Amino acid sequence: MFIRLDERNSKKFPWLSAVGGRYPNPYGTPTDLIFNKDLTFEGVAVTGRYGLGDGSAEQSHLFVTVGVHPLQEVALSAQDKWLLGGELGANFRWGEGQHLRFSAAFFDYLNVSGRLNAPDTTNFNFTAPTFLRQGNTYFDIANSSDPTVNLFALAAKFRLVNLSASYELPVGRYTLGLTADAVKNFGYNSASVLANIGTIRANGYLARTKGYQAEVSFGTQTVLTAGAWRGLVGYRYLQRDAVIDAYTDSDFHFGGTDATGFYVVGDYALAEKVWMRFRYLSSNAIDGPNLGIDTVQLDLNTRF
């Protein structure tokens, strides 16, 4: 549940939007390289837009979005986990349906990296994430004299810079789409990570903090009427500590980071607002043990 406010001019252009509660992704990340497309956000986010056209709702514009999002509350502590986000970009529309969008974003995760407990204590157990996926560099913060007791937490910090662009070109009654998305974790500090994971594991260890994803799509712009269709092919490369593995795509390589490969998606509308989606995802580990995963998904969707 969320509350959303849109301030509009006389021609319905939303020059200011604000949302609070639990709501869809407020940032224009065009792929699920950083955030799974099903992921919802909590907190507040505000978007301001500056029109570059005639004032109409579909005019070209510049935009800026800022948001504050709680990730985990730590009782009786000032070490709550937060995500601070900011995005600056532009939306350009011209001709008969051409659309270009590009943006630069910054995402700063506060208090998400782990801290080692003093021997046989639990003071810093709260620094362990409540949900783990796979790929990120983790270390055992339990520091227990009992070898069967383990608790894993993130070894690195995460301050992400994201650059993205998307372009749509009408081709007859169809639309060609191109998308590019790239991310780098500038919060990663090799000395801090190596201190956490220990010198034995650190032998030959390399920082892996980059990722990118590219897509090409073609077909009808929306797949909501009988007979409409759209196809997409993409390539994904996401190093181990480029993003937090719990928030990225949960299907590619069974979720997480340290994976590269391609995917194919096809949508076909069987009836009004009823469509079938086929997905084939083929991935391989980048640095971890050799692991190739091929996934086939077939979904039936409706909207009402």
For 192-240, what is each residue's pLDDT tens digit?
A: 998 898 865 555 678 899 999 999 999 999 999 999 999 999 999 999 9
Cα separations in angstroms, 277 against 41, 222, 260, 266, 300 = 26, 13, 22, 6, 6
Q: Does residue 76 have a pLDDT over 90?
A: no
Per-residue confidence band for 78, with pLDDT thresholds at 50, 70 and 90: confident
| Number of other residues whose CB lies within 10 A of the CB of residue 206 | 9
3-state secondary structure of 81: strand
Mean pLDDT taken over the chain = 94
Q: Return the pLDDT at 297.
A: 97
pLDDT digits over 82-132, tens only?
Answer: 999 999 999 999 988 899 999 999 999 999 999 999 999 999 999 999 888
Domains of the chain by start residue, with CATH: 2-302 (2.40.160)
Cα separations in angstroms, 156 against 15, 106, 128 = 38, 17, 12
